[in-house]
Amino acid sequence: MTPGPSFSVQEIPFSTFGSWLALSPVTALATYAEDLHLISHQGGLNPVLRLTPMEDGARAATAITATPGRLAWAHPSGTIEAAFESPDTVRLRGSGLALRLDAAITELTPFTGTYFYDAAGVHVFTSYETGRRYRVTLIAGEAAAHGAQALGEAGRGLTFGAGGGDWEAAIEEYGTARPPYSPSAPFDAVAAASRSAFAAFADAIAPWRNPDTPAADLAAYVLWSATVRPAGFLGRPGVLMSKHWMNKVWSWDHCFNALALAAGDPGLAWDQYQILFDHQDPSGALPDSVTHSEVLFNYVKPPIHGWAFGHLRRRLRLDRSELERVYAQLEKWTQFWLTARRAQGSPFPHYEHGNDSGWDNATAFDPERVVETADLSAFLILQMRELARLGAELGRPAAHWTATADELQAELFARLWQGDRFATRGVGSGDTWHTDGLLDLMPIVLGADLPPSAADALADRISAHLTEFGLATELPASPHYRSDGYWRGPIWAPATVLIEDGLRRAGRTALADEISARFRALCERSGFAENFDALTGAGLRDRAYTWTASAYLLLAAAHEARRTAGPEGRRPAASERA
């Protein structure tokens, strides 16, 4: 079995499916430590232990390599290796090098920090920030405690292998108590089992991968390693946006992850779609984000859920009860926008802040914060049309959803269409404006529902945003363009997927193909960053973002299906392809 993709832990944490733990140098927002840390994402991004390779009592400069089953520190004097035995247990072993474990937070007060104690061979760190214990068990070799002895003193820890020779240990994360640790298998078998679990996952969600899709394995690893088991406010297995600092599930990101998982792991895909709806409030609103220790309603996110479900249900086999569940969820979510988010006398729903749109600081929000944008109406139109289809299938009255969607679309063109793009309107002032931002062009998601002349005009303007690497969110010639300006220039995965899909449904397949090809090439070149410099292709911000990995998998899978299709779009049988 091949070891799987290799990757840099500076960009992608070393973790395993289901775990809230990771080994990473990222200890806070955009903060990279010199050494790897054991990070726990229960309660936030919490560095618990610092892992320092040592030689002759001094820090050893090592080269770190990582694959899905094994992480290694290499030095001329020896190696240290790590592997996940289970989601809450990390195995470590060393030969020729020592390893020093220290509490990551040095300050210890009644309300912060990590306390360490050892008694009768039991070594335990307790973390105030995570509310968990971290028991260290020596399996082979030598371990010695170091640091001050007085209660309340920081700086205590353990060193393995300081006297030379081979050593092996395990670190467990748990609550209050658990039976004494006993190894389930030898280290190499543990690493092999983890590697095999990843390979099975990749085979399931990306069976089409081949030398022409060189980033598919790593994209699968990003998703696999960012998945956590149910805990805290997450009542289902959840794919975090990252096991760096973007360690939440946001209320539109989860749709792209659900779609990428659907063909190969339908149960996990369903969980991803439902994970935000589990917290839908009485008004129908979805939370902005959910993670282990918080559910935030300070913002919402755009209603792309009808669009997503239209694609998702073609990939899943859902029974009537599940369809009924989604119908009720989408109905409440739609009514939220039609009631709580429409100003008196206005036909349009509105955002109260750029964060509501997902395009946090886009130039459309510069003149005013509370605005009616065409993308929001377009998403809501798609959602109501999905409700109409779903309602008809379930025997519910559906005509009102079609009528409401038609009315909103007519108003959209009557009031906000400006001949070649849509305007934004301020709720307070009634003023309208347009920008050089890609947000003005997002109603291309209406696809075949657009008049051909409007589809052509939007496609022409979209093509102007296409750089060598993909769709810039602000025209590079705009005075507001910023290379790392979040939504004021960089390339983003969700906008790419939504626009590519809308163009394709509108029959503008050549442009859709080009957008897909450039984004796939960008990921193959620059990885799965949160976003990318539109002119250089450099990855920006969080470098292990799951919706970027999912976007690559979605676009690559669709491209491979088209590429291997036979006459009239028929996919040839395996015998024919052979």
pLDDT of 565: 87
Which residues of 4-87 form beta strands (DSSP E)? Answer: 21-28, 31-40, 46-55, 58-59, 63-67, 70-75, 78-86
Least Cα distance to 14 among 35, 36, 41 occurs for 36
pLDDT surpassing 60 at residue 395 = yes
pLDDT surpassing 60 at residue 421 = yes
pLDDT of 132: 94
Distance CA 232, CA 389 (A): 36
Residue ranges of the domains in the chain?
Answer: 14-194, 207-563
Q: Would you state the structure tokens that stand for residue 13, as one six-digit string? A: 């944490």
Cβ density class 432-441: b for 16+ within 10 Å, e for less: bbbbbbbbbb
Separation of CA 8 from chain center? 18
Asked if residue 388 lies in contact with residue 398, where contact means CB atoms within 8 angstroms, the answer is yes
**Domain 14-194 bears CATH identifier 2.70.98.10:** yes
pLDDT surpassing 50 at residue 571 = no
pLDDT of 485: 94
Q: What is the pTM of this model?
A: 0.95
pLDDT tens per residue across span 242-291: 999 999 999 999 999 999 999 999 999 999 999 999 999 999 999 999 99
Least Cα distance to 313 among 394, 226, 399 occurs for 394
CATH fold, domain 207-563, is Glycosyltransferase (1.50.10)
pLDDT tens per residue across span 301-346: 999 999 999 999 999 999 999 999 999 999 999 999 999 999 999 9
The pLDDT-based confidence of 155 (bands split at 50, 70, 90) is low
Distance CA 277, CA 281 (A): 9
pLDDT of 115: 80
DSSP state of 415: I
Asked if residue 218 lies in contact with residue 226, where contact means CB atoms within 8 angstroms, the answer is no
Asked if residue 424 lies in contact with residue 374, where contact means CB atoms within 8 angstroms, the answer is yes
Tell me what the mean pLDDT of segment 402-431 comes to: 97
Q: What is the mean pLDDT of the chain?
A: 94
Phi, psi at 564, each rounded to 5° = -95, 5
